[in-house]
A and B are shown apart, each in its own frame.
Chain A
């Protein structure tokens, strides 16, 4: 089953609640596939989703689904005519209906019709749930199963665009990854354009084709996951995605001088810069190893597969760096170690404009 992909185009979208401007002149162009809107809680990402769904009306700006303008020109199209699928947090299955009735809720043909029954089975297959689950009630399902049913319910009427609002945040870590993959497989198979809102960068980077990083009602960067990580648009994106530590330094001809010593940098002109040092770029070695700075281990968080170590560099101009080290080689807090920054470091002008 192939059908033309319907893109989503948002331009100049603005929305305020009282004096608070939640969305500030936002543009987003989603040609298809899965797009993640990544941001801390309160950054406006859920508002964006509710505007696209039609539960809210924008103060300014337009929303286009394919060639239809659904908001911003004349009367807004009500949610039920937008051909969208909506998967809210924790699924919000209808508690009085069983799984089959939940999935068939949006189907135009009668819920008991053969076509509806077939579609329900297709959808359960799609989200990888056993067909026997059709007669269960929501409270008999686990959290991950509820999310899959919620997705099946959203996909059943063949929407153009599926909107997912933090769909995995209520699941525990193990279930989250497994459910996330299953959901992405189902979304790709259905060929619907999907917008996924999340505050989890791992989720956004691993599941989406396009990531839009949002803060304070604006997009900081919209790009493919690898570009977001390797080529962040600014220090804010770098520190939010990838936990980079920002250190100021003086750049000159591709080398930065500062508390970390001379480091090769890329991305900035000469002058005061902010270096974005990622944990995997910090190598922890023995104290007094050649070419190393001496540092004190401040804090160690052991995760099993590896550990993160917070080290303090410098005597009077102290800088804290975070390093990721293998589990077999974790230093004790309070000891002295050697620290070396590996490879080129991203640098941003300290005072842009």
Chain B
């Protein structure tokens, strides 16, 4: 219980920081900051990017998911792979691919296009999962009641999968709010890029804090909107029984056209960044491959990623344990406390840790422990989501049985509980590690001087328009992201949550 409280309190640090430092600001100063014209620009840009990016991601994500799962699209598995693949290309690498190809994307529409191409899989994946688990008999009933294909999609299918779609849209929104690298490269200033600019100019000035507050407000509005849209209606499946695989809609003569459209999407989301990456790699080789830098950065990245992955999973364990074994009000509060941190952009978490470490324990400022704690706060929810169902695989009755058969408590944990939960814990460590490996924004602020990861090395070169020198690091980042992407893509289409024996 104490451990759980400690983890929850740590997760709430950034939120507390924003509240406290805004309170210190004073109303007059705050008003002065808010009324600057530059500020209005940032808020306007952030808002329209959110609307455009989320809308385009929804269109692409839901449309593609329906094509892949519910129609007789040829080569559906191949398309599924291609549609998940953009997740393996970090958004800032995608932005680099586009900007180093054409400067036409330095506009609102360019920014919307690039971020949507990076983030639409966040809608696509949960929608695919929801569609393939949807009991097709509800559609059959709708058809028997006289609903046509379109009408049954909008009246029956979409309401049923809407929690998944909304959850995906929320994720896209939160990622857009936190995105720094891609938007900086595309020269489209938002609140997040504004915070980093302010931070560079006047280290930890009140302006950065004020922007962070507005950014947090945006996040909370998004969370509220999602809750409102989700509503109180229940969407459980009524009755048990085997959900039959759905009949697929026939595309008929339209099939080639849809394939062409998906191919175009794949070219835009994968082809452009990869081709430009290869182009710069070939060209960059004529200068020199920074093998030493690459090796050092790779080592640092791996070390940080594994450390943060293990720590985040370890921190998620007591919380998940409490949630699974001891239900209650306090426990639910502790569990909920973990999630707001996920909604906060990396930049806010980083800013909070910088300020807190300077004020409270200056000796820790810009050290590895603070960086790792930042990662843990950022990615703890990701670990918690995976750890909880894992613990549910090992209900307490199994330990009871083991002790009645002569095992000590420790023996029961070793022989029964651990073998059941280790694969899940390992997967959770891997997922967090991969996310840490490609993290840029918080790393830029928190990394000690001289510590450089693949992402920061890439960034220092790409932002200095040394596209050729940045290419090897981009390639390494993509390679690092492939395993997690593959895992996520496979999990979305597997019908049963049970692990094969």
Q: Does the CB pair A105–B404 fall under 8 Å?
A: no
Taken together as a complex, chains A and B put the C-alpha atoms of A172 and B501 apart, in Å, by 26
Q: Does the CB pair A105–B397 fall under 8 Å?
A: no
Q: Does the CB pair A96–B420 fall under 8 Å?
A: yes
* A106 CB–B CB distance under 8 Å: yes
| Minimum C-beta distance from A231 to chain B (A) | 36
Taken together as a complex, chains A and B put the C-alpha atoms of A81 and B407 apart, in Å, by 9
Q: A55-B400, A79-B400, A88-B397 are in contact. Are A95 and B407 (CB under 8 A)?
A: no
* A53 CB–B CB distance under 8 Å: yes
CB neighbours of A85 from chain B (8 A): 404-405
| Minimum C-beta distance from A134 to chain B (A) | 15
Q: A80-B408, A139-B498, A139-B501 are in contact. Are A92 and B397 (CB under 8 A)?
A: yes
* A137 CB–B CB distance under 8 Å: yes
Q: A88-B397, A96-B419 are in contact. Are A137 and B404 (CB under 8 A)?
A: no
* B401 CB–A CB distance under 8 Å: yes
Contacting A at CB under 8 A, from B435-491, are: none
* A168 CB–B CB distance under 8 Å: no
CB neighbours of A154 from chain B (8 A): 404-405
Q: Does the CB pair B420–A95 fall under 8 Å?
A: yes
User: Residue on A with the closest CB to B395?
Assistant: A92
Taken together as a complex, chains A and B put the C-alpha atoms of A88 and B395 apart, in Å, by 12
| Minimum C-beta distance from B499 to chain A (A) | 9
* A7 CB–B CB distance under 8 Å: no
Q: Does the CB pair B501–A53 fall under 8 Å?
A: no
What's the dominant secondary structure at chain B's contact region?
A: helix
* B255 CB–A CB distance under 8 Å: no
CB neighbours of B420 from chain A (8 A): 94-96
CB neighbours of B419 from chain A (8 A): 96
* B398 CB–A CB distance under 8 Å: yes
Interface mask (B47-88 → A, CB under 8 Å = 1, otherwise 0)? 000000000000000000000000000000000000000000
* A219 CB–B CB distance under 8 Å: no
Q: Does the CB pair B403–A78 fall under 8 Å?
A: yes
CB neighbours of B393 from chain A (8 A): 95
* A271 CB–B CB distance under 8 Å: no
User: Residue on A with the closest CB to B404?
Assistant: A86
CB neighbours of A86 from chain B (8 A): 400-401, 404-405
User: Residue on B with the closest CB to A156?
Assistant: B405
Q: Does the CB pair B398–A92 fall under 8 Å?
A: yes
From the candidates A81, A88, A108, name the one contacting B401 in the complex (CB within 8 A). Answer: A88
CB neighbours of A55 from chain B (8 A): 400, 403
CB neighbours of B408 from chain A (8 A): 78, 80
Q: Does the CB pair A94–B416 fall under 8 Å?
A: yes
CB neighbours of B401 from chain A (8 A): 86, 88, 92, 94, 153
* B146 CB–A CB distance under 8 Å: no
Q: Does the CB pair A108–B406 fall under 8 Å?
A: yes
* A242 CB–B CB distance under 8 Å: no
Q: Does the CB pair A80–B405 fall under 8 Å?
A: yes
Taken together as a complex, chains A and B put the C-alpha atoms of A117 and B402 apart, in Å, by 19
* A84 CB–B CB distance under 8 Å: yes
Contacting B at CB under 8 A, from A102-126, are: 105-106, 108
Taken together as a complex, chains A and B put the C-alpha atoms of A204 and B406 apart, in Å, by 29
Taken together as a complex, chains A and B put the C-alpha atoms of A157 and B405 apart, in Å, by 7
| Minimum C-beta distance from A264 to chain B (A) | 51
Taken together as a complex, chains A and B put the C-alpha atoms of A55 and B403 apart, in Å, by 9
Most A-side CB within 10 Å, residue of B393, B400, B498: B400
CB neighbours of B395 from chain A (8 A): 92
Taken together as a complex, chains A and B put the C-alpha atoms of A88 and B419 apart, in Å, by 21
| Minimum C-beta distance from B329 to chain A (A) | 15
Taken together as a complex, chains A and B put the C-alpha atoms of A81 and B420 apart, in Å, by 25
CB neighbours of B501 from chain A (8 A): 95-96, 137, 139-140
Most A-side CB within 10 Å, residue of B405, B408, B501: B405
User: Residue on A with the closest CB to B408?
Assistant: A80
| Minimum C-beta distance from B377 to chain A (A) | 33
Contacting B at CB under 8 A, from A280-319, are: none
17 pairs from A and B in contact (CB 8 Å cutoff) = A54-B403, A54-B404, A79-B400, A79-B404, A80-B403, A80-B407, A92-B395, A92-B400, A94-B398, A94-B420, A96-B416, A96-B501, A105-B402, A106-B406, A139-B498, A139-B501, A154-B405
Name A residues whose Cβ lies closer than 8 Å to a Cβ of B. 53-55, 78-82, 84-86, 88, 92, 94-96, 105-106, 108, 137, 139-140, 153-154, 157, 163
Name B residues whose Cβ lies closer than 8 Å to a Cβ of A. 393, 395, 397-398, 400-408, 415-416, 419-420, 498, 501
Sorted from nearest, which 9 A-B pairs have the closest CB atoms?
Answer: A106-B405, A86-B404, A79-B403, A137-B501, A92-B397, A80-B406, A80-B403, A96-B419, A88-B397
**Beyond known contacts A80-B405, A86-B401: 4 more, CB 8 A cutoff:** A88-B400, A94-B416, A105-B405, A139-B501
